[in-house]
Amino acid sequence: MALLSKKDSKLILDPLTDNNPITIQVLGICSALAITAELNASIVMAISVLFVLGLGNVVISLMRNIIPSKIRIIVQLVVVATLVIIVDQVLKAFAYELSKTLSVFVGLIITNCIIMGRFEAFALGNGPWRSFLDGVGNAAGYGIILVIVGFFRELLGSGTLLGFKVLGDPIEKTGIYAIGYENNGFMLLSPMALIVVGIIIWVQRTRNKALVEDH
């Protein structure tokens, strides 16, 4: 990549695969379970976190030398809260239906462990450009998993994708059988999100044995 040095591009690419915040660090699981029943909710959530984490990392990085370390958590919270409120207001203004679906979980981005984790672990010790890349990378890693989970849950749970019918309803009933797709209600319940994330973790660690933890 000509645009980014090798070290910088690693900041973006690592969280997408071998250092994924959800499947490797197992952070930010709560929202991955709560809002992935529909694909569009997952996408909006991913974009919101991308905005908050990318910008938040830059802001924290710019202030890193003037924040007294004793109150740094409070400062970080103020930064996240500000950004999250902006996201929340924008969603309410331009996508009211979606913001109702996401309900409290937009506000709960504040408590998303990935965000505080990146502020603490990266933005406090690195320059704004690198922090921005790190934020974008981690948010994208989080978003990818959200979209994958949302894709399977909406497809198998409701037979739709982004609200469009993909798998047909059962038709031509003969006895107890019918041609078509019978929606799997379990996919819409939160436990199934956990299981889908678990399967992604399983597949990832089977492909790359180096990721398997010793115990």
Partner 1 sequence: MSLKSKLHNFKEKHRSKKWLPAFSAIHTFLFMPNETTHGGTHIKAADDLKRTMNIVIMAMIPCLIFGMFNAGYQHHLAFGEIQAVSQGFFSPEFWTMENFLVGFWKIIPLVIVSYGVGLGIEFIFAIIKGHEVEEGYLVTGMLVPLIVPVDTPLWMLAVAVVFGVVIGKEVFGGTGMNILNPALTIRAFLFFAYPTWMSGDKVWVHGAVERANEIASGANLDAVSGETILGSLAQGLQHDYSISEMFLGFIPGSVGETSAILILLGGLFLIFTKIGSWRIMLSSVLGAIAMGLIFNSVVDAGIITEGSKFYGLMSTVWWHHLIIGGFAFGTVFMATDPVTASQTNKGKWIYGFLVGFISIMIRVFNPAYPEGVMLAILLMNVFAPTIDHYVVRGNVKKRMKRLKVKTA
Element (H, E) at 193: helix 190-207
CA triple 102-133-47, angle to 5 deg: 15
The dihedrals phi and psi of 104, each to the nearest 5 degrees, come to -75, -10
Contacting residues for 127 by C-beta, under 8 A, at least 6 apart: 61
Does the protein bind partner 1 through residue 202 (CB under 8 A)?
yes
Pull the structure tokens for residue 99.
């913001």
Number of residues that bind partner 1 (CB under 8 A): 13
Among 195, 203, 208, 212, binds partner 1 (CB under 8 A): 195
Q: Write out the binding residues for partner 1, residues 164-193 only, by CB under 8 A.
A: 173, 175-177, 182, 184-187, 189
What angle in degrees, to the nearest 10, is found between the helix axes of 113-121 and 39-63?
30
Question: For partner 1, which is the closer residue by CB, 58 or 187?
Answer: 187
Binding pattern for the stretch 38-67 against partner 1, x by CB under 8 A and - elsewhere: ------------------------------
Return the percent helix, strand and coil in the chain, to nearest 5: 70, 5, 25
Least distance from partner 1 to the Cβ atom of residue 36, Å: 17
Question: For partner 1, which is the closer residue by CB, 101 or 190?
Answer: 190
Does the protein bind partner 1 through residue 68 (CB under 8 A)?
no
Question: For partner 1, which is the closer residue by CB, 168 or 198?
Answer: 198
Contacting residues toward partner 1, per CB under 8 A: 173, 175-177, 182, 184-187, 189, 195, 198, 202
